[in-house]
Amino acid sequence: AQSVTQLGSHVSVSEGALVLLRCNYSSSVPPYLFWYVQYPNQGLQLLLKYTTGATLVKGINGFEAEFKKSETSFHLTKPSAHMSDAAEYFCAVSDTGNQFYFGTGTSLTVIP
């Protein structure tokens, strides 16, 4: 069965510090991987995705993620956190099925 694990339901970083949000998945086949962000009272917005090709993927707002097959991970990073990055972040995986499997989300707090 497909599963997505996001380690840490809450992450706090100082403004200007590195952001690292972790995502691990289980899949029996090469998956497609996505990161979404959700701001308060809004729907989810795509940050970036990996389907094939280069394993380091760059997204919007300075975020990037690296697909590591050997570690079954797709961690999201940003070199320098901004106050506007405070939001809920969701990792999602699609493999052979006709749906996404979402993690439970990580709430990011940015401390001034």
Partner 1 sequence: ETGVTQTPRHLVMGMTNKKSLKCEQHLGHNAMYWYKQSAKKPLELMFVYNFKEQTENNSVPSRFSPECPNSSHLFLHLHTLQPEDSALYLCASSQASGRPLAYEQYFGPGTRLTVT
Q: Which residues of this protein are in contact with partner 1, per CB under 8 A?
A: 4, 9, 31-32, 34, 36, 41-46, 49, 51, 90, 94-105
Closer to partner 1 by CB, 22 or 49: give it.
Answer: 49
Closest separation in Å from C-beta 68 to partner 1: 19
Tokens of 11: 């992450």
The C-alpha angle 108, 85, 30, rounded to 5 degrees, equals: 70
DSSP secondary structure letters along 72-95: TEEEEEESS--GGG-EEEEEEEES
Closest separation in Å from C-beta 109 to partner 1: 17
Strands (E), 1-112: 3-5, 10-14, 19-21, 24-26, 32-38, 44-50, 56-58, 64-68, 73-78, 87-94, 101-102, 106-111
Closer to partner 1 by CB, 101 or 110: give it.
Answer: 101
Closer to partner 1 by CB, 17 or 88: give it.
Answer: 88
Closest separation in Å from C-beta 15 to partner 1: 27
Closest separation in Å from C-beta 79 to partner 1: 24
